Every structure is written in C-alpha cells, then in structure tokens.
Chain A
C-alpha cells in the first residue's frame, strides 16, 4: 500500500480505513468524522465505521448524501463499493421521514413523509392503540407521555424520529462559571469545550437540547457539562458511573461554578440529598432488593422538575435507566463519553433516548494542541523466579495468575524504573494488597487502599500533589478515584486486565497535559497467563493509538 494523497479506503462492510501517514490525513479525518464513528486508531491506519446511526447523526447536523458521497470520492483511493453508497443513501432517506411536533397540551403530532410509511407505522399495534386522531394529509396525533416509547419503537424498525417537540425548561436555577477557580487558578473554557456545549444547546431551540458530546479521557468533559448547565440555568440531575465520580463532580462544580455545597445534592448509598443540582450513580438508580422488586430510587428521575439531565460516561448507561429515560423525553438530555461504542450493543438506545452525537474531536488533535499529554506505554516482561516455576506449573488457573502477578522480580524492576524517573511523580498501581504492602515497605512509600480513611487519603494526595511524596502506591481504588492527583509515570504491577475501561481509567491518571511525555509501565511475568492478559491490553492500547513498547528483562539484567 503506497501512501497516496487519497488516504481513505472504503471497505464493503462500511468501515473506512484512514492512513495516518498521508499528507492529507487531517483533511480527510475532519471530512469523514461527521458521518463515521472512530472505531480504533492504531499507529498507521485508523478505522472508522459508517452505520445508520452515524449517518443519522450526520443528517441531524445538516449533512446530505451528496456531501458524504463527494467527500468519500475525494479521499477514497479505490472505487467506493456500491453497497456502501446504497446503504448510506438509504439511511439518509430515513432521516427526517418522521417528525414529532407539539400539537397541543399533552398531545404530539407525528408528521410522516409518505403514505406508505404512514400505513406501515399506524399498522403497528402500539401506535394503532395510542393513536388519537388522523391528521390529513400525512400525520396523526399521539399522547405526549409515549414520546420516548414511540421514538424507541420507530428506531427499532429503522426510522429515527426527528424530535422537534421542544423541552420542559424545568425549575429555574442559575449556574455561573467562575473566572478563577476556588483553587485560585484562572479558568476559561477551551475552544472545543465551548463548541461542544454550543452544538448541544443550539440557541436553546428544539433542534438542540438532546445529544452526546464525545471527548477523549482527560479532555474535560465535566467542564462541557458545566457550561451546558450554565446555559440551561435549571434544576439538573447528573448520573455517573460510581461514587468516586459523584464526589469528583461535586468538587469540580464547587471549584469551577458559583454553586455552593448546599446547592448540590449527593444521592448515593451514604447520602440521599435531593437538591437543585443532584448527582447520583447508575448503580443507585438501578438498585432493587430482589430481582423482581421495583427500582427503589428510580423515582429520583421525577423527584424534581429537572430541566436538564447529564449522563456521564453515557456508553455505560444500564438498560433500566434507558427505560426510565423514555418517560422523561421532555427534559433536556446531555450525554458525555469518550466513545459511542457500547459493549452491549445498545447504541440505538443511546441515540434515540439520550440523543444523537452532537460533537466529537479526536484525541490526537487534542494531544497535538497540548490539551492532553502524550503517553508512551511499556510492557516489561520478566521471568518468574526459578523457585516459583514448579509452584506455578502445579497451581490452578486462578492461583497461577496470582503467582505471576506477585512475581518478586517486579519489585526490582520497579525500583529501576523509579530511579529512571526520579524527578517525576510516580503512581504504583496494583491489584493485590499483600503485594502492594510489600512494595510500599520496600520503597518506603505510602499506600492507599479502599480501607484508607478519606482524611488520610486527602492528606496523602495533597502531599503527592505538592511533590513531598514522589511515589504513591495505590490499589484498585485508583481505577475510579478521580481526585487522585495527576502523575507523569504509572507503574502497573498487577491488575485484572480484563476490562478495557479499567485500562483506560488507569492510563487516564497520567494524561493531564504536561510538558513531558507521560509513561505507563506494566510489569508482566513471562510465559505465564499474565502474558495473555497483557496481550489483550496491548491490543486495546495500540488501538487507542498509544505507542506500545515491549522490553524483555533477563535474570542477569534483573539481578544487576
């Protein structure tokens, strides 16, 4: 494959390969990004995919089939497979075929583009039963309370509804962004954060108010949320992935907005505060005592006259929350995420119930502009101590993984790494407490685990931040502890390695912008099951575009 000035290759399955080394890479990337989702971005060729959803997202921001076709033809090295063009045209033809508008109090009007489609829709039992009245020439009315379910049903049969009903503004509650943070730093929005918020808001009209802003880890998605809150000036419910994230939102809101602690409610296992700005977790909303019991806390969604809902990490919203979201379609809904790809394939639900993608910016662009740090990933392979080899061979699978993870040679290699990065803040992250205790003792560094009291954690974080503590050893609390201070070196001595999320979170610890390149080390025992997990991680990180290096240390090198 020769590098050419046509860096795009359109595959028959709708995926797009984009050559990074091409001189026209950036131009092509910016051109295709509005209608194709980035799937993976390894070093040389990035993969995007055109799907009906990506096309509807594009149509929602005003792109046309001709424009997409022209773009592809300009940049495509080979002839575009006919099937792909056909599918794109078909997807475009379905967008805006059905519109939803307000008709009166509690009643919505459905406008349909053709008689055939009208008949197809009204033949569906759900629609037929809900239908109030036919409106000539091509329309009918439905009750407002089935707005979400109606949209959900139609997308299942391949028709996205263009929802122009508008929103319930909710109870007023002004929120202002500070110019100087509580911590005393000057605070302004970055350009892409402003664009993301503006694209969502669209002047406050019915064309905006629902959508998803896609930004890479560490790019400040929370800030986009805060900007939207200030535009909406209303009661806001924020849904997060876990308690740590809730706390982080609270601290960020206090730090960067005019909100006081009394304005903000924490609705978690420990506290059940409902205030003008309330923050909770998906887990909390979906909690129930037994399998068939009702979701006790789901009523929070209607507990106040919310004017805005923010879905943090929207790609992990659980199905019951989607169901509840169908009932609150009159509320403005903002999704924040680093990726639209869901492990469970519920992308359609995200599109319909939360909204289409309204802003996306590739992480590499932010890296180049210095908004996130450049990171290098190293995998260091080291042998098992000879005395452990027999034990390892005879152990069960689970034990084998632990033996490999707790390889004592890792301590020596880690010391070498710490020596190499002596002037940098270093996090040592691990899975097994006994191993971490040993390491902490060896290094003389403090250890933070789940059992560490918050006050002590805060002190240690502060000391780490100020540079008094150069090395901090942390357990898996680091996965989600968003208040964990930034570091430029992370050494992962053990981990579950199963979750891509965990990997991204750990890496996220070192991605805050800084002058030097951040480094992420993972220590792996050679010829053990740990290697297999490490390989999966390698693939994941490579596909995220991180440079990945492997070093193999021999016994001699370790002993030296």
Chain B
C-alpha cells in the first residue's frame, strides 16, 4: 500500500461508515476517513501514548516494509503471539494496523501515514561514525590458505570425485595444520576459489588461481568470505549494505532488522536470533563490520561499504615482515606476516615442515625438483633466496641447491595443439614455432586466431576442437555474487482485494463449529444485533449484513440462523458455517 488513500480504497464501501464511526467516532466517507486516519496530531498522540512493546511491534512492521504475512509474525513472536495479537487489536482500533482479508491469518498492513513518524524513530538508531570511538578493526589474512596450499603442494593428497580427500589425506592435513587453522573450511574455500583441482584423483594446486589469491587476497578475501557467509540467507548481504550505509547503527537494531529480514524471507528458519547474532560476530571477526568500544554500535569497517559495491577493497600497501631466515640446515623460517606471494613462492621451492607462528620450510632435493618443473632454475632460486633472506644465504645451501639442479635431467613431453600444414607451410601464420617441417605449435589461447587466419587464406581446417588444460584457463574464481548488487525489494503476497481491508481485530472470522453457533445463540439471548460477512448466494461476492437473530435451527446436519436483516428490512436465513467473519462493534 503506497498511501493511506490506497489503503482506504481497499475497504469495502459499505464498511467505511462503520469503520470511521469506530475509529474516528463519527461516520465519514472515504476521503474523510483517509484524512482522519492521516491526521498527524492524532498519530503523534497515539504513538506517544504507546508503551515499549507496542512501539517495538510497530517498528517491526515498519522494518518489514509495512506489509507482513501473518505466518512471519507468528514465527517472530512465537510464544508471545497472543500478546502481540492483543496489541495489534489495540492498534487496529486506532486505525494504525489493518489486515487484508477475513480469515484472521491474512497479511498485516501498516497505515502508510504512520511511516514518516516511524522513520523518524528509526533514524534515531543511527549516529555519525565520527561521534563514536571504535575498536581496531580485525584484519583477515590468507596465511592459513597459503599454509594449506603449500602443505598440499609438498605431498600427494588423493581425493574422491568432488575433491573430498580420503581419510588419510584429511588425517595428514589435520596433523600438519589442524591446531592452527579451520582446516576443512579453508580447504573447501580453496576448492570454491579454484585454487585446488582434481588431477586424476590427486588434489593439485592451480598455480594461477593461487597466485591471484596471494596477490589479491587482502583486498578481496574478507569481502568474498562475507558474501559466502550470506549465501545461505539470500539477500542478507544487500540488506546489511542497505541498513548500514556509511553510518553507525545501534547493534540491537541491526540485529533485529536482520532477524526480521531473515524471518520474512524464510519464516521456517529456526533460531533466527542466534543465526543473526552469530553472523554479526563473524562479520566483526572478518573485519567487515566494526564495533564501537562499548559494543553497542556497528558500522562497516572503512572502505568495506564501497568495497562491496566495487568487489574489492582499497587496501593500503601492506607492511609485511620483510625477511626470512635461511639456516645452514636447509630450513627457511618464515614469519606469519610475511608477504603471501613470497610464502607461495617459498612453497614452490621448499617443503613445509611446520606451519606455526614462524613456519618452517625445508629445501629438499624433491622440492627443488618440483620447483624446476614449475619453471625455476638454480639461479632464480638463489636470487629469490637472496632477496628474501635477512642474512647472507649460507654457502652450503646455495651449493646444495645448485648441485640438485644440475643433477636434474630434462625431457619434454609436449602437449598442445599443433598445426599440421606440410603441403603449404608458407600459409601458416608468421611467428608460430615450427616443431618439425610443416608442423607448428599453436600457442595457448591462440587457436581461434589461427583458425580465423587460415580461414581467410582458404585453408580448410580439420581436427580436434581447441581445448585447453583447465589449469591454464585462468585465475581465481571469486564467484558471481561479487560485487554486491542493488537491493531487489521483497514483495509480500498481494492483499486479496475481493475480501477487503479492515482495521486489525475489528473483523474476526467466525469461530469454527459449535463455537460459531454459540455467538448467534448469545446474540439471540441478549437481543443483540450482529454485523456479518456473508457470501452472496450464487456469486461468491462478500456482503455485509447487520442482522438480529430470531431463531436458530439445524437441518440436514447444518446449522442455520433465521434473522431480521436491518439493511433489507426483511427476514433472511443464513447458514452459519458460511458466515465468513463478524464485525466487532464498540
């Protein structure tokens, strides 16, 4: 409902006078009712008179967009639903809360005219960030990821399809890293990021993706992790961005708003409060959110809000520990806060012995061979060690690595795509490497180009499709959810127009079975008239009738009431079970 007029237009015309009499104290037409309900003074007076609980209920409805499914409310309030229902009835009597239908379980609608007043209350939950003292934001690094990558690189972890390592693999990793990192989480994160892949049943490190992670991890990983934690609750990351913006928000209010969001999307979610409390703590731990020193206010850590929209943080140049120690026993001691890119490089040339406060790597014949396979050579290793080492690299280390490098014989198994053009080698694109006469090697990712070139020269190309090794496909996969995009508004179910909208509690469904009959019996007994909502015979359209019961009887198992209808001035018979609702007067 966009406006109070819009809301009033959903009230059946024949109810307008009745409702305005009830709320405003005198009968009025649609326009007057809308004006009366929107009267600012009246609304302020009502709001000021409200206690904490009704006010917080109103705020909940407002935060939920002013229109709420009944089951959402039922989940939110749980054991306190009856109390909430009473509060809503009071608010209904004041024309603040409406319900769109006659079943009693229809959506609740907040009077649109009250929104500006509630919004003003909401704004009090915000503060400028400069007015508060903030705790140091937590800093998330990718050290654990680098440690795991290097550990996997140093050994051979076999896995099932789906990248799940076998028990022994897990045990090995657990033994090496279990006390230091959240092993399983980080493992699966690396799989998600494309840093590990399954090469014939062995967990294999994807060089490019890992390098990307090492280079860009500081800027992107905390955001990526934030988005990952939001995945089970679609849209919550957008809600957080929406709620916080660049301001500080009361922690309680943020939590409540997120609980409302969560329950409104998935009412069946259990323990929503605990989930949100856990998430907020986690986001603070990730350094995405920042807490004030009293723990009562929350904001986005500077740069995060814009970072979420851009997909990466503006990270200042990191001051990493500058050097490692290379010992004569071939050990490399690497501090935890060493540059991740160089940690990754160390893992390429040396085996992990221990990951800890200071990690220990060891240069071994095997590790040096592995490095040579990955394109290193003795000189490159020496220069690298020289660059990162605090002290002069021990002579025996250099000589031993050089010795190992020399003892490494090389053979090449060339895989790739080749252009076989023995009859017309001159038609081959210039610059291609000619492996054998008339046989050219096509560089990676140039297949399509070469094909297009040959097409233009009327060369019919036959052979396999140009498929490249997965490892060579590219870098890290930060996923589709980055950056965080604009909020798509959540819509509640449409109000059933045919049944109309009524102030909450003013119209109630007739109790089921004999309890419904009792309502008519009591009216008959005390001589009271009732306003009933009754479907017009043959049309299904709901009619409102003011009746005075005269006689109640049963026929063929159904209960009927014979009553005097004040609208028509005639006696009519109504089947009690078909009465949809009663209007509560007074």
User: Contact between B328 and A542 (Cβ–Cβ < 8 Å)?
Assistant: yes
User: Contact between A11 and B391 (Cβ–Cβ < 8 Å)?
Assistant: no
User: Contact between A548 and B328 (Cβ–Cβ < 8 Å)?
Assistant: yes
Interface residues of B in 319-351 (CB under 8 A from A): 321-331, 333, 335
Cα–Cα, bound, A538→B357 (Å): 27
* Residue of chain B at shortest CB distance from A43: B328
Majority-rule SS of A interface residues = mixed
* Residue of chain A at shortest CB distance from B407: A527
Q: Which residues of A contact B331 (CB under 8 A)?
A: 42
User: Contact between A1 and B403 (Cβ–Cβ < 8 Å)?
Assistant: no
B474 at the interface (CB under 8 A from A): no
User: Contact between A83 and B179 (Cβ–Cβ < 8 Å)?
Assistant: yes
- With contact pairs A1-B324, A526-B403, A550-B396 given, residues A543 and B356 touching in the complex (Cβ less than 8 Å): no
Residues 374-397 of chain A, each 1 if its beta carbon lies under 8 Å from chain B, else 0: 000001010000000000000000
B358 at the interface (CB under 8 A from A): yes
Chain A interface residue count, CB cutoff 8 Å, equals 35
User: Contact between B400 and A550 (Cβ–Cβ < 8 Å)?
Assistant: yes
User: Contact between B356 and A542 (Cβ–Cβ < 8 Å)?
Assistant: no
Residues 523-538 of chain A, each 1 if its beta carbon lies under 8 Å from chain B, else 0: 0001100011001001
Q: Which residues of B contact A40 (CB under 8 A)?
A: 329
B180 at the interface (CB under 8 A from A): yes
User: Contact between B180 and A11 (Cβ–Cβ < 8 Å)?
Assistant: no
* Residue of chain B at shortest CB distance from A551: B399
A88 at the interface (CB under 8 A from B): no
- With contact pairs A1-B333, A42-B331 given, residues A531 and B354 touching in the complex (Cβ less than 8 Å): no
Cα–Cα, bound, A78→B357 (Å): 8
Cα–Cα, bound, A539→B357 (Å): 23
Interface range on chain B: under 10, 10 to 19, 20 to 34, or 35 or more? Answer: 20 to 34
Q: Which residues of A contact B407 (CB under 8 A)?
A: 527
User: Contact between B329 and A543 (Cβ–Cβ < 8 Å)?
Assistant: yes
Cα–Cα, bound, A388→B396 (Å): 27
User: Contact between A21 and B179 (Cβ–Cβ < 8 Å)?
Assistant: no
Cα–Cα, bound, A13→B355 (Å): 10
- With contact pairs A11-B357, A12-B357 given, residues A43 and B394 touching in the complex (Cβ less than 8 Å): yes
Cα–Cα, bound, A235→B578 (Å): 114
Partner of A11, one of B328, B354, B399: B354
B395 at the interface (CB under 8 A from A): yes
B156 at the interface (CB under 8 A from A): no
Cα–Cα, bound, A379→B180 (Å): 39
Cα–Cα, bound, A179→B25 (Å): 122
B390 at the interface (CB under 8 A from A): yes
A44 at the interface (CB under 8 A from B): yes
Cα–Cα, bound, A42→B325 (Å): 11
How distant is B350 from chain A, measured CB to nearest CB, in Å?
Answer: 14
User: Contact between B403 and A2 (Cβ–Cβ < 8 Å)?
Assistant: no
A552 at the interface (CB under 8 A from B): yes
How distant is A430 from chain B, measured CB to nearest CB, in Å?
Answer: 23
Partner of A42, one of B322, B329, B399: B329
Residues 8-22 of chain A, each 1 if its beta carbon lies under 8 Å from chain B, else 0: 011111000101010
Q: Which residues of B contact A547 (CB under 8 A)?
A: 328
Interface residues of B in 362-420 (CB under 8 A from A): 365, 390-391, 394-396, 399-400, 403, 406-407
Partner of A81, one of B328, B357, B365: B357
- With contact pairs A11-B357, A548-B396 given, residues A21 and B329 touching in the complex (Cβ less than 8 Å): no
- With contact pairs A9-B357, A9-B358 given, residues A549 and B324 touching in the complex (Cβ less than 8 Å): no
Q: Which residues of B contact A543 (CB under 8 A)?
A: 329
Partner of B333, one of A45, A381, A538: A45
A114 at the interface (CB under 8 A from B): no
How distant is A48 from chain B, measured CB to nearest CB, in Å?
Answer: 13
Cα–Cα, bound, A81→B400 (Å): 35
How distant is A85 from chain B, measured CB to nearest CB, in Å?
Answer: 14
User: Contact between B399 and A550 (Cβ–Cβ < 8 Å)?
Assistant: yes
Q: Which residues of B contact A83 (CB under 8 A)?
A: 179
User: Contact between A1 and B391 (Cβ–Cβ < 8 Å)?
Assistant: no
Partner of B395, one of A78, A527, A549: A549
User: Contact between A44 and B391 (Cβ–Cβ < 8 Å)?
Assistant: yes
Q: Which residues of A contact B403 (CB under 8 A)?
A: 381, 526-527, 531, 550, 552
The 8 lowest CB-CB distance pairs between A and B, nearest first, are A550-B399, A542-B328, A542-B329, A42-B327, A11-B356, A548-B396, A42-B329, A543-B329
Which B residues fall within an 8 A CB radius of A?
Answer: 179-180, 321-331, 333, 335, 354, 356-358, 365, 390-391, 394-396, 399-400, 403, 406-407
Add 8 more A-B contacts to A44-B326, A542-B330, A549-B395 (CB < 8 A).
A11-B358, A42-B327, A44-B327, A44-B391, A538-B328, A542-B396, A548-B394, A550-B403
- 7 A-B pairs in the complex with CB atoms less than 8 angstroms apart: A1-B325, A1-B333, A2-B323, A10-B357, A11-B358, A17-B358, A43-B327
